[in-house]
Amino acid sequence: MKKRILVTGGAGFLGSHLCERLLNDGNDVICVDNFFTGRKENIAHLLSNPYFEMLRHDVTFSLYVEVDQIYNLACPASPVHYQFDPVQTTKTSVHGAINMLGLAKRTKARIFQASTSEVYGDPEIHPQPESYWGKVNPIGIRSCYDEGKRCAETLFFDYHRQHNVDIRIARIFNTYGPRMHPSDGRVVSNFIVQALQGQNITIYGDGSQTRSFCYVDDLIDGIVRLMNLEEGSTGPINLGNGSEFTMRELAEKVIRLTRSKSQLIFQPLPQDDPRQRRPDLGLAKEKLSWQPSIALDEGLKMTINYFEALCGSPSGLDGLLNFHRQSA
């Protein structure tokens, strides 16, 4: 049955893929975004669809629409962007959650929260199960994001217990793919942009720290499955990819796939950068019958194709990088 679905942060990287998927599934989609990190280009191809609607709106303010489901993704996700205005980042997570939960309560809509592996901080347990409470610095430069997301989870569970709101929480681990912003400083986009421009590839630390990388289509499938589970399936559930790679391995793959002549250069690790992070996906497999299916090489090729096409687009990769340097 066609549902009316609100996607906050719908013009961003993950949000735009989610809007596309929900439209393809036959739903009516309202996309809300303040375009802080989102781009009109991400959703331009959806604007001619009569079941797609775009609202420029900041989730820190109340929103009155009638919907059946809400996916709350609004929040800058990369450290460069969430540290640009940390107070606004916390407001987006906390006030945004309160506003969207209020809307869910009034409309009796089911509501999904895009939480993050950052709630585990610099973990002492590896891989991280959902039962782990995390090791997070409350006063560091990443805290606006980490603690904002943790507080949002608290609000979701309190609205659930106190007001019976039907909630879903996914803790999303590193995800990559087409429509990542080229200047958002995330490792996959950074490496690809540097390789395509023939610049040296910057590795922070000695390159032995590991991360797992999930391709965007796999992640969106996991999110939609969680949203459509039977009532009472609150989560939190980890979503990501269990295969772990060192930063050096990732850089070498990108150089090979782009046939770049870039060299690796090394810089000091930023403050509070986790050494290692990988999801325990047991619960996702059991509850959602889900596991990622796209291998890193395959996903990187699709992402590289996107960035190559961006180099030849009217705004161009350079234009986008410059635009972002000015606005950030």
Ligand X SMILES: NC(=O)c1ccc[n+]([C@@H]2O[C@H](COP(=O)([O-])OP(=O)(O)OC[C@H]3O[C@@H](n4cnc5c(N)ncnc54)[C@H](O)[C@@H]3O)[C@@H](O)[C@H]2O)c1
Active site residue ranges: 145
Closest CB to ligand X among residues 58, 153: 58
13 makes contact with ligand X (CB under 6 A): yes
Would you give the distance in Å from CA 105 to the centre of its chain? 25
Q: Are 238 and 213 a contacting pair, CB within 8 Å?
A: no
Out of 27, 90, 99, 116, which residue is the one contacting ligand X (CB under 6 A)?
116
For 234, list phi and psi in degrees, rounded to 5: -75, -30
- Closest to 130 measured CA to CA, from 260, 284, 236: 236
The number of residues that bind ligand X (CB under 6 A) is 28
Instruction: Please list the residues that pair with 56 across neighbouring strands.
Output: 33
Q: Are 156 and 119 a contacting pair, CB within 8 Å?
A: no
CB of 312 to ligand X, least distance (A): 22
18 makes contact with ligand X (CB under 6 A): no
292 makes contact with ligand X (CB under 6 A): no
Out of 5, 6, 7, 9, which residue is the one contacting ligand X (CB under 6 A)?
9
CA–CA separation, 218 and 234 (whole Å): 20
Closest CB to ligand X among residues 10, 251: 10
Task: Could you list the beta-strand ranges (E) of the chain.
Answer: 4-8, 28-33, 52-56, 69-72, 110-116, 167-172, 175-176, 201-204, 210-212, 214-215, 237-239, 244-246, 264-267
CB of 282 to ligand X, least distance (A): 19
Structure tokens at 217: 């289509």
CB of 8 to ligand X, least distance (A): 6
Closest CB to ligand X among residues 196, 223: 223
CA angle 257–259–262, rounded 5-degree value: 110
Of 207-246, binders to ligand X (CB under 6 A) are none
Closest CB to ligand X among residues 20, 58: 58
CB of 4 to ligand X, least distance (A): 19
* Contact window for ligand X (CB under 6 A) among 30-38, 261-269, 272-280, 281-289: 30-38
Q: Are 174 and 120 a contacting pair, CB within 8 Å?
A: no
* Contact window for ligand X (CB under 6 A) among 4-12, 222-230, 257-265, 274-282: 4-12
Out of 6, 20, 31, 37, which residue is the one contacting ligand X (CB under 6 A)?
37
Considering just the CA atoms, what is the radius of gyration of the chain in Å?
A: 19
Among the residues of 108-238, which ranges form H helices? 143-163, 187-196, 216-227
User: With b meaning 16 or more CB within 10 Å and e meaning fewer, what string describes 30-54?
Assistant: bbbbbebbbbeebbeebeeeeebbb
103 makes contact with ligand X (CB under 6 A): no
CB of 321 to ligand X, least distance (A): 16
* DSSP strand pairing (264-267 vs 201-204): parallel
* Contact window for ligand X (CB under 6 A) among 72-80, 204-212, 222-230, 245-253: 72-80
11 makes contact with ligand X (CB under 6 A): yes
59 makes contact with ligand X (CB under 6 A): yes
Closest CB to ligand X among residues 82, 260: 82
75 makes contact with ligand X (CB under 6 A): yes
Of 158-187, binders to ligand X (CB under 6 A) are 172, 174-175
CB hemisphere CA count around 7 (13 angstroms)? 30
Closest CB to ligand X among residues 38, 121: 38
Q: Which residues lie near ligand X (CB under 6 A)? A: 8-9, 11-15, 33-38, 58-60, 73-77, 92, 96, 114, 116, 172, 174-175
